[in-house]
Chains A and B, each alone.
Chain A
Amino acid sequence: MADNNLTIVEAVNDALHVGMGADDRVVVFGEDVAESGGVFRATDDLKNTFGADRVVDTPISEIGIAGAAVGLGVFGLRPVAEIQFSGFLPIAFDQLVSQAARMRWRTRGEWTAPLVVRTPYGAGVRALEHHEESMEGAYAHVAGLKVVIPSTPHDTKGLLLSAIRDPDPVLFMEPKHVYRSFRGEVPEGDYTVPIGEAAVRREGEALTVVAWGSMVEKAETAIEELGVDAELVDLRTISPMDTRTVVESVKKTGRAVVVHEAHRTGGWGGEIVATINDEALMYLEAPVERVTGFDVPVPLLSMEDYYLPNPVRIAAGIERVLKY
């Protein structure tokens, strides 16, 4: 089949069209998703194509949105809910933690909550307070919840289609900083990218760089500017994590840098370092380095560039590990 050259946000839209077309149980809802097509146009034209029963504007009710997704999922539908910005996700956190993630476990498999909560995450788009957070580590901490973050248009579509069809609740975090930064080949029609598998973006021998979402592009820039023979692992699924790909890479290179824009303390990088220590400690030739956001609230738009890891910070981390 032919390919399209799409941005990440266009790939989201494409996946939703394909997912809704393939399964009439799929229902899309959230704030401003229907009439206006979403504040980032991610749900553009869905209402025209699939009708007002299946594409629904909601009140400003994050608890209601996430909770209704659980109920719809329990009742056999395939809800794809949007939380407009990840900064509003903490409001819905209780529904994800106390309802979505526990439904299968609570009813011993009798009821399940297959659902997708999509949310644009991350800083760098000059938005207002509460529009810039990346708290994937907190969500990955929840047993029973899957957390997915794509970094390319191809993966965005394939992973979102996997998420829609996944038997468990999936939090799908979209890197809005690179929503429209670049285009990539996206196959037409239906395909999936499996949840739980990392991708090796480039192979190398000198060290392993692990990143996801909008940090993948920045890590690539840093690697290219340094001209080092790095292996770049795009985690793609935060939880359940593909530890095997990470560990195998580190066993080969003996050195690693983890990059994420979330805060350092309690960030997912800590889990990755611990996993490397568990399974590849004796292969390490240097302590694993973390390049992350600082342990401060994500600043407002005037200072956010100081907060976000950039290629210079990533390069410094790589050099520290290589020179150790």
Chain B
Amino acid sequence: MTRTDGGAPAPVPWLTQEDYPVETYRIVDPDGSYDPAAVPDLSDDQLVDLYRWMRVEQRFAERMVNLQRRGEMGTIGSGRGHEASIVGSGYALEDDDWLLGMGREITAMFIQGVRMRDMILYWRGIEDASKYLAQHNCMIGISIGGHLPVVTGVAWGMDLTDTDAVTMAHFGDGATSTGASHEGMNFAGVLDAPAIFYCQNNQWAISVPFEKQTNARTLAQRALGYGLPGVRVDGNDVLAVYEAVRQARERARSGQPVLVEALTYRVDAHTTSDDPSSYREDEEVEEWRELDPIERYRGFLEAEGLWSDVDDDAIVDEIDAEFDAALEEANAFEHREAGALFEYVYEELPPRLAEQLDDLETLLEERPEFYDHVEQRPKG
């Protein structure tokens, strides 16, 4: 045989994403049916607790958006539609775990012990809030995707110090397009760091839909490229999310960082500064409203015979009362003087900064008209 009669060259064994179908892990179907054997090992009280937390997420978002509309809150992103994804992921964490998020996982932080007052302070742009979050091993990182390498580092530290905990990153579909996210996940794989990369794929990054965010059909499949286990879970199925993250936690503790993609939908605007009517159809939003995670879970509780014990109105009243008390506390939060700007820049205030503070305080004293230009916003 000569080289010229060979005909077609040998086929190149291309890898394509079509070769790797990604299943969606789900326990309770949208129509309410489920296999009782697949239900996570949770007590009746815990099952009801999951419902209560989802109501917290929903109600907190509503109250915060209302406050923003009245000028009593900064820009806020609602988690409407994400209740199962947020609560299921948070509920699977243990007390000593760390949670570094992006702002749309508020109730997961409440479950870690963060107080409602401090979340209100955060969205009012009061720096002290992040201090209180940190006291519960939580952080909100607004720079999209930028916290993923930090998550890897914290998890690495847990490994180096034999700390029995994991670090979870919460981020959105848009964040997976950042270089930082790729570096963070790949590096975690190299380090065998106990990290959970939990992506809420709500299918919209402000105005950019998922299919324009990436050519990948799922985000879970990215895990293969990093050499990590990955899964796509129905993010509107709180039990599936819980079980996926619970198992992810076990894997992470055994030195296997995990990527979990929770497929959900951003029912509300990106934030209170956004108007989605300019870029997406109402029909799509309505379709996803039909898939409401709280409704689905209510059906599950009914099927389990647990719903009759739930006093839904009382739950909401209790959440509202908690919110009212938290808001009152937030309104009463100590007035801060200009000097607060200079705190925590360094452990010790360098002389040059001390001079700047001194100049500012002198000026405020000599020229009180300075305060005409200061509005400590938003007012409570």
Contacts and interface: CB of A to CB of B under 8 A. Distances in A.
Contact of A59 (B208, B369, B372): B208
Nearest to B375: A305
B377 interface: yes
A165 B279 CA distance: 31
Contacts of A131: 142
B74 interface: yes
Given A126-B75, A129-B142, A313-B363, A303 B207 contact: no
B292 to A, nearest CB: 26
Contacts of B178: 60-63, 91
Contact of A130 (B125, B143, B180): B143
B360 to A, nearest CB: 7
B278 A294 contact: no
B75 A57 contact: no
A59 B75 contact: no
A128 B353 contact: no
Interface string B267-289: 00000011000110000000000
Interface string B345-362: 100000011001100100
B338 interface: yes
Interface string A1-45: 000000000000000000000000000000110011101000000
A143 interface: no
A122 interface: no
Interface residues of B, number: 51
B327 to A, nearest CB: 16
B303 interface: no
A153 interface: no
Interface residues of A, number: 43
A28 B130 CA distance: 37
B367 A316 contact: yes
The DSSP consensus for interface residues of chain A is loop
Interface in B328-347: 336, 338, 340-342, 345
B149 interface: no
B84 to A, nearest CB: 24
B206 to A, nearest CB: 5
Contact of A264 (B144, B179, B356): B356
A302 B341 contact: no
Nearest to B215: A59
A175 to B, nearest CB: 17
A313 B126 contact: no
A299 interface: yes
13 contacts: A31-B208, A59-B177, A61-B179, A88-B144, A91-B146, A128-B75, A129-B143, A297-B345, A300-B74, A303-B127, A303-B340, A310-B374, A312-B363
Interface of A: 31-32, 35-37, 39, 57-64, 87-88, 91, 126-131, 264-265, 294-297, 299-307, 310-313, 316
Given A31-B206, A35-B278, A62-B178, 10 more contacts: A60-B144, A60-B145, A60-B175, A63-B178, A91-B143, A295-B345, A296-B345, A299-B125, A300-B125, A303-B376
Interface of B: 74-75, 124-127, 142-146, 174-175, 177-180, 205-208, 212-214, 273-274, 278-279, 336, 338, 340-342, 345, 352-353, 356-357, 360, 363, 366-367, 369-370, 372-378
